[in-house]
């Protein structure tokens, strides 16, 4: 399934480039792209897209025979050829884009990862870890799947244990006040 995901990622990002629309990988595929290696089998593709270009992004998904399957409290889910896309808008902040309520720099404009020889934009390590902090707050770790532990460990290792701890403290301050 990973090969089909990579093929779709390349197609989706390639078509977005044609209309000058940045997209960012999030979650597990962002981790793999940032590490330039496949670490596990993936179930879905997490994508951040410019919220101010939602109409263009939807048109792009439809042009690839995508179907919106569910609205979520943060964005929407879509299906293209049986592959689940978990889509979240980022907001424009001056010349940049950011994921709402996350530390600055969450959606860098320069590519920060590579999959199959294609440079891709990925959300920052901070944004990836922030998602795990939310997950920790919502799901007890005894209910985590092996892939959750693996991906979290890879993100922590890449960002650094001390930096991860400081970021987690920042998350806790922001979400307990």
| pLDDT given for residue 177 in this prediction | 60
pLDDT in tens, 124-164: 999 999 999 999 999 999 999 999 999 999 999 999 999 99
| Domains of the chain from N-terminus onward | 2-123 (3.30.460.40), 128-176 (no CATH)
pLDDT in tens, 155-177: 999 999 999 999 999 999 998 76
More confident residue, 177 or 69: 69
Looking up tokens 């907001």 gives 91
In sequence order, what DSSP letters do the residues of 63-110 get, joined into one string?
Answer: HTT-EEEEE-SSSEEEEETTEEEEEEEEEEETTEEE-TTS-TTSB-SS
Q: Is 86 noted as a catalytic residue in this protein?
A: yes
Question: What value does the mean pLDDT of the chain take?
Answer: 96
**Residues making up the chain, counted from first to last:** 177
Q: Are the C-beta atoms of 106 and 126 separated by less than 8 Å? A: yes
Catalytic site residue from 32, 46, 86, 131: 86
Q: Which residues pair with 67 in a beta bridge?
A: 79
Residue 87, CA distances (Å) to 32, 51, 95, 144, 174 in order: 18, 10, 21, 22, 24
| pLDDT given for residue 37 in this prediction | 96
| pLDDT given for residue 45 in this prediction | 98
pLDDT in tens, 81-140: 999 999 999 999 999 999 999 999 999 999 999 999 999 999 999 999 999 999 999 999
CA diameter of the chain: 44
Mean pLDDT, residues 16-37 taken together: 98
């Amino acid at each position: 399934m990973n090969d089909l995901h990579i093929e779709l990622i390349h197609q989706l990002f390639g078509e977005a480039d044609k209309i000058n629309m940045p997209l960012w990988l999030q979650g597990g595929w962002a981790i793999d792209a940032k590490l330039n290696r496949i670490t596990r089998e993936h179930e879905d593709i997490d994508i951040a897209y410019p919220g101010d270009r939602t109409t263009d992004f939807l048109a792009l998904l439809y042009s690839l025979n995508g179907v919106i399957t569910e609205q979520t409290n943060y964005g929407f889910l879509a299906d293209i050829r049986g592959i689940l896309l978990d889509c979240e808008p980022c907001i424009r902040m001056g010349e940049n884009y950011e994921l709402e309520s996350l530390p600055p720099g969450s959606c860098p404009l320069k590519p920060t990862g590579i999959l199959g020889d294609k440079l891709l934009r990925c959300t920052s390590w901070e944004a990836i870890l922030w998602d795990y902090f939310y997950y920790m707050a919502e799901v007890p770790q005894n209910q985590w799947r092996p892939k959750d532990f693996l991906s979290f460990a890879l993100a922590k290792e890449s960002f650094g244990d001390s930096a991860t701890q400081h970021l987690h403290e920042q998350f806790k301050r922001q979400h307990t006040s």
